[in-house]
């Protein structure tokens, strides 16, 4: 799949990381829609915005990424989208996998340019099966 056709909803409460990841994706010709909280993400999904990939931070205030993923799955908001969890907590991977994530990236061990590569690889892998 060509990167130019990809659209990503990027959800993270860390504004610095949100901006940095958005810039890295933009340099790879990938469109991002960065949002800083789960409520805004749900509004975008419920109003019909379409995304190829969702990248969800796990640790966020109000509603964490796992709770957000649970709502997304129950409401069938983007059934075809690749969903990737992004966190510093390696021990959350079992919970995320139980909710059906396609990939899991640990922030502390992955530099931003690697995040782009991993996201595209996870998405392509899912869509070639």
Judge whether residue 65 has pLDDT over 50.
yes
The owner of tokens 């059906």 is 100
Judge whether residue 96 has pLDDT over 90.
no
pTM exceeds 0.85, yes or no: yes
Sign for the pseudo-dihedral over CA of 30, 112, 9, 50: positive
pLDDT band at residue 74 using 50, 70 and 90 as cut-offs: very high
pLDDT band at residue 1 using 50, 70 and 90 as cut-offs: very low
Calculate mean pLDDT across residues 20-32: 93
Run of H or E residues at 11: strand 7-11
Average pLDDT, the chain: 89
Judge whether residue 4 has pLDDT over 70.
no
Judge whether residue 3 has pLDDT over 60.
no
End-to-end CA distance of the chain: 13
- The pLDDT, as a whole number, for residue 55 is 96
Judge whether residue 115 has pLDDT over 70.
yes
The residue segments making up the domain with residue 69 are: 3-126
CATH number at residue 64: 3.40.50.2300
| Total number of domains constituting the chain | 1
> Cα separation of 11 and 124, whole Å?
20
């Amino acid at each position: 799949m060509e990167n130019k056709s990809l659209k990503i909803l990027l959800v993270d409460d860390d504004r610095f990381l949100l901006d940095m990841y958005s810039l890295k994706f933009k340099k790879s010709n990938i469109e991002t829609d960065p949002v800083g909280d789960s409520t805004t993400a749900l509004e975008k999904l419920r109003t019909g915005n379409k995304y190829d990939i969702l990248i969800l931070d796990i640790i966020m205030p109000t509603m964490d990424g796992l709770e957000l993923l649970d709502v997304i799955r129950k409401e069938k908001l983007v059934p075809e989208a690749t969903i990737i969890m992004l966190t510093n907590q390696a021990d959350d991977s079992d919970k995320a996998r139980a909710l059906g994530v396609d990939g899991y990236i640990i922030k502390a061990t992955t530099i931003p340019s690697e995040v782009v590569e991993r996201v595209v690889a996870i998405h392509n892998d899912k869509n070639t099966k």
